[in-house]
Amino acid sequence: MRAVLLAFMLSIAVVHLPAQLATTTENPDHPVPQNSPCASQPRSLSGLTASFKKGRAPSAQELKGTWIEIGSFNHGILPPDDELPRDEIPPPSRSLNCTGIMRGNKFEFAMIGVDYDWVMEFHVAGSGGGGRDRLEPNHRGSVEFSFCSDGDCSGRVLYDCRLTTRGTLACVGGDGGAEFKKMKVEARQLVGASR
């Protein structure tokens, strides 16, 4: 009897193993909330806003490199899509991951400071990849950019970003915000990477 029960339990594990492996390599259609924050990372939008207020505008040189989203609050950096029916708009959320918020095997949102001052290359899950945009110094202690996730950009929202005392980039705007950390990553981990 024990041998039959043991064989049955092992067969369940073997049957479910391929399905579990598949979920780690697939890229889901929607963000997957995560909860692995850095030790001193803000845990709420109000905490991120407080960190933003204590920060300063980054220089063009400080923006160069790869910035990975480690914190996303409410709708995150992406504005809600005004073309979605009301019942399909995702509820407010929070996602924290000190090693980078992932969607399957890709980072949810990455910004890469390129060779041109203030120009960032965006790699964003769920928005057709991304593109390039300028983070303009606004002479109010921040750099700003607007980002849209829908096709016609009618949901475009302006975000202000500051370098925090922890060395992260805090961006707030609309009804949400995001925090980014500079790190080295492989191109295969970025949505739509061409390098």
Give the model confidence (pLDDT) of 139-179 as tens digits.
Answer: 899 999 876 655 556 666 788 999 999 999 999 987 789 99
Q: Residue 123 forms beta bridges with which residues? A: 110, 130
Tens digit of each residue's pLDDT (9 = 90 or more) over 41-54: 999 999 999 999 99
Nearest of 68, 64, 66 to residue 97 by alpha carbon: 68
Rounded to two decimals, the pTM is 0.77
Strand duo 169-173 + 157-163: pairing: antiparallel
Q: pLDDT by residue (tens digit) across 106-134?
A: 999 999 998 888 899 999 887 665 688 88
Residue 84: CB atoms within 10 Å: 12
Model confidence pLDDT, tens digit, residues 63-77: 999 999 999 997 544
**Which residues lie across from 169 on neighbouring strands?**
163, 180
Q: What is the pLDDT of residue 125?
A: 86
